[in-house]
Amino acid sequence: MIAMETPAFVTDPVFLPAILSSVAEALTMCNCPAQCVGVSRAPLRDPGTVTGLIGVHGNVSGFVSLNMVASVARATVGGLLQDRFDAITAQVIDGVGELTNIIAGGVKRGLRSSPWSFSHMTVPSVIIGQQYQIAYARGLEYLAVTFEHQNENAVMLDERLFQVTLSLIKL
């Protein structure tokens, strides 16, 4: 038998502001406006082809990820480096790692006075490709925030979305 109660859309209230302020700070550096268009407590399939991951640990363990389509990766890294990229290059991959680092650092600042604070971050890793899944352990507190990049040249919605996720477990 399936329980038919409505799940509460509640996660720790410090998560969302930490992600929102961190992404706003990173995108200001890139001169790339975007707006939050969705929030989810359940792991979603990553829609993009470029994913930056940073492990975090201290009072908690987990990771911060940044997932985006190639056009958004090229635009944001182009803004960060004041350059134009027509393809995913080594510079774009390094730039996505750096953006992931900036966002994770902002999340770290946003959580510093909460029970979810962490003191250490790993070196960023960047995954390029499609049709992969990240497996999340049970017991993690998870929040995915989806943003729409304001790219007038992108016709399809999928070409404008990126997602930042935070998944943590208290130690």
Q: Where are the domains of the chain?
A: 15-170
- Give dist(CA 126, CA 84) in Å, integer: 20
Out of 44-48, 113-117, 154-158, least confident range: 154-158
Residues in the chain: 171
**Beta 161-170 vs 60-68: how paired, if at all?**
antiparallel
Instruction: Work out whether the CA dihedral 135, 111, 81, 30 comes out positive or negative.
Output: positive
The terminus-to-terminus CA distance of the chain in angstroms comes to 33
- Given this model, what pLDDT does residue 157 score? 62
CATH of the structural domain 15-170, one choice from 3.90.550.10, 3.40.1550.10, 3.90.1150.10, 2.30.30.90:
3.40.1550.10
| pLDDT tens, residue by residue, 101-137 | 999 999 999 999 999 999 999 999 999 988 777 877 7
